[in-house]
Amino acid sequence: MAIRRRPPLAAALAAALAVVSIVSAEVYFEERFGDGWENRWVKSDWKKDENTAGDWNYTSGKWTGDPEDKGIQTAEDYRFYAISAEFPEFSNKDKTLVLQFSVKHEQKLDCGGGYIKLLSGEIDQKKFGGDTPYRIMFGPDICGYTTKKVHAIFSRDGKNHLIKKEVPCETDQLTHVYTFIVRSDATYSILVDNKEKQTGSLYSDWDILPPKQIKDPDAKKPEDWDDKEYIPDPDDKKPEGYDDIPKEIPDPDAKKPEDWDEEEDGEWTSPTIPNPEYKGPWKQKKIKNPNYKGKWKAPMIDNPDFKDDPYIYAFANLRYIGIELWQVKSGTLFDNILVCDNPEYAKKFAEETWGKNKDAEKAAFDEAEKSKQEEEAKDEDSDLDGEDEEDAEDDADSKSDSDAEEEKETPHDEL
Ligand SMILES: *[C@@H]1O[C@H](CO)[C@@H](O)[C@H](O)[C@H]1NC(C)=O
C-alpha cells in the first residue's frame, strides 16, 4: 500500500478519524506484499525436479488502481505453484476466525482455482505441495461453464469436508476480495467484496458431524393417511347419451354429383366430416379432496449416531498460510492476505485496499480492453494487405480452446 503525503490539516483530520474508526482486533497475519515480502514467504521446491514448478511475478498487474500496490502473480503457463508463509501459532478456539484475501484473474481463467489454505502444526515449507495436509481451504474455483464457485473446505481427521451450499464466485478479470468468517458459535459467513453471499451453521452446511436429527426409520405412513390432493367429483355424472355422439358425421353440404350413375358407380354415400358435437371420451371432473392431509413425512428423531463436538469450528495451532495451485493459464494475482479475529477490521482492511482502488482498476481495465480491440482492428486492416496474421491468431484461439478441454480432464484441485 502506498503512503501518501497529506497537507498538515488534512493529516490531523485523518488522524482524528482514524481514532474513531479504530477497531480492536487480533491480527495473526497481514500481508500487503510490500517490501521484504520475499523474506516472509517460502517458495516450495515441490515439482521442481519435474520442471513444472511455476514462478511468481511481483507486480500490480496489467491493469491496476495503484501501480505501487503490488501482489504476487502466477507467471508461467502449465505450472504448479506452492508458496507459504508462517505466523505465530494460534488457536481459534472460543474466537472468531477471519480469513481474507484478494485475487485477480488477469488471464481470463478458463479452469483453475484462486484459493488459499490455512495449515497447522509443523510443516517443511520447502516441501509444501498438493499433498500437504491443510485445515481450511477457501477461495474461488472456476472451470468451464459449470464450475463457478467459492470453495470452503474444512479438513479434519484426514477428511475434507466441502460446503454443501452453492456459493457463486466472481468470474471477471478484476480484483475481488474473498472473506471467510468462522465464529465460535459454529456459524459462518462467506463474503465477496464485503457482501455476504452465504451464511449458516457448520452443523448443517458441512457434513463434518452426522446430522443432529434424522427421519425416524421406524415410522410408517398410517393406512388411513389420505395423500391424494384431488379426487374425481362424485357429483359430476356422464350425461345420458354422451357415448352415442359419433366422432364423424356425413357432410351436410355434400351433394350427390349430377352425373352419378348408381348402376355403374354403386350407391352414393356422403363423405364424412368431424362432428362439432363430439368432445372426446368423457372425463369426470376433479375436485380438491376434503380429506387431504398433505404429503406424509416421517417424524424427525434425534440421531443416535450424533455426538456433539462444541469445537467443530476450532483448530489448534494454526501456523501457516499457503497458496497451492495448478495453472494452465497463468496470471492469477494474490494480494492483501489477512488472518484475524475481527470481521469489522477485515471489512475496513478490504475497503482501504480493494475498495479504494477498484474504480480506478476498472477504468484501467476498460482502457486496456479498448486498446486491445484497436490493435485487433489494425491487425485486420493489415490482413487485407495480404498478411497472415489472422491465421496466426486463429491458431492461438484454438490452442486456448484445447487448453480448456485438456484442463477439464485434469483434476485442478487436489481436494
Ligand atoms: C511475468 O513476468 C515475465 C517477465 O517480465 C513476463 O514475460 C511474463 O509474461 C509475466 N507473466 C504474466 C502472467 O504476466
Over range 207-233, report the average pLDDT.
93
Q: Is the pLDDT of residue 405 over 50?
A: no
In whole angstroms, give the CA distance from residue 82 to residue 41. Answer: 10
Q: Tell me the pLDDT band of 365, cut-offs 50, 70 and 90.
A: very high
Over range 259-274, report the average pLDDT.
87
**DSSP states of 193-236:** TTEEEEEEEHHHHS-SS--SEEE-TT----TT----SEEE-TT-
Domain count for the chain: 1
pLDDT at 256: 85
In whole angstroms, give the CA distance from residue 183 to residue 192. Answer: 18
Q: What is the 8-class DSSP label of residue 401?
A: H
- Encode pLDDT of 67-107 as tens digits: 999 999 999 999 999 999 999 999 999 999 999 999 999 99
According to DSSP, the residues that pair with 141 across neighbouring strands are 113, 149
- 330 CA: nearest ligand 1 atom: 13
Distance 76 CA to ligand 1 centre (A): 7
Whether 183 maps to a domain, the answer reads yes
**370 phi and psi angles, rounded to 5 deg:** -65, -45
CB-based contact 101:334 (threshold 8 Å): yes
Distance 125 CA to ligand 1 centre (A): 25
With a Cβ cut-off of 6 Å, ligand 1 is lined by 57, 73, 75, 330-331
Distance 123 CA to ligand 1 centre (A): 30
Whether 190 maps to a domain, the answer reads yes
In whole angstroms, give the CA distance from residue 360 to residue 366. Answer: 10
Nearest to residue 296, comparing CAs of 384, 365, 227?
A: 227
Whether 234 maps to a domain, the answer reads no
Tell me whether residue 283 is annotated as binding: no
Distance 57 CA to ligand 1 centre (A): 7
- Encode pLDDT of 312-346 as tens digits: 999 999 999 999 999 999 999 999 999 999 999 99
Indicate the top mutation candidate among 55, 56, 57, 72 to test ligand 1's pocket, ranked by most ligand atoms within 8 A of CB.
57
Distance 34 CA to ligand 1 centre (A): 19
Whether 279 maps to a domain, the answer reads no
21-30, 153-162, 313-322 — which is least confidently predicted? 21-30
Q: Tell me the pLDDT band of 383, cut-offs 50, 70 and 90.
A: low
Distance 140 CA to ligand 1 centre (A): 23
The residue nearest atom 4 of ligand 1, judged by CA position, is: 57
Whether 7 maps to a domain, the answer reads no
146-155, 253-262, 363-372 — which is least confidently predicted? 253-262
Whether 227 maps to a domain, the answer reads no
Q: Which residues contact 289 (CB under 8 A, 6 or more apart)?
A: 226, 228, 229, 230, 231
In whole angstroms, give the CA distance from residue 298 to residue 275. Answer: 52
- 107 CA: nearest ligand 1 atom: 13
Tell me whether residue 193 is annotated as binding: no
Tell me whether residue 134 is annotated as binding: yes
The residue nearest atom 8 of ligand 1, judged by CA position, is: 75
| Boundaries of domain holding 56 | 25-207+311-362
Tell me whether residue 393 is annotated as binding: no
The residue nearest atom 5 of ligand 1, judged by CA position, is: 57
Question: Domain holding 44: CATH number?
Answer: 2.60.120.200
Q: Is the pLDDT of residue 15 over 90?
A: no
Q: Is the pLDDT of residue 404 over 60?
A: no
- 106 CA: nearest ligand 1 atom: 13
Whether 341 maps to a domain, the answer reads yes
Over range 353-368, report the average pLDDT.
96
SS3 78: coil
Whether 396 maps to a domain, the answer reads no
Over range 29-42, report the average pLDDT.
96
Sign of CA pseudo-dihedral 201, 141, 347, 58: positive
Distance 59 CA to ligand 1 centre (A): 9
- Encode pLDDT of 164-206 as tens digits: 999 999 999 999 999 999 999 999 999 999 999 999 999 999 9
Tell me whether residue 115 is annotated as binding: yes
pLDDT at 85: 98
Helical pair 389-409 and 356-384, crossing angle rounded to 10 deg: 130
Alpha carbon dihedral 136, 311, 209, 177, in 10-degree steps, equals -30
The residue nearest atom 6 of ligand 1, judged by CA position, is: 75
Instruction: Provide, rounded to the nearest whole percent, the portion of the chain with pLDDT above 90.
Output: 73
Over range 356-385, report the average pLDDT.
87
Sign of CA pseudo-dihedral 381, 383, 389, 395: positive
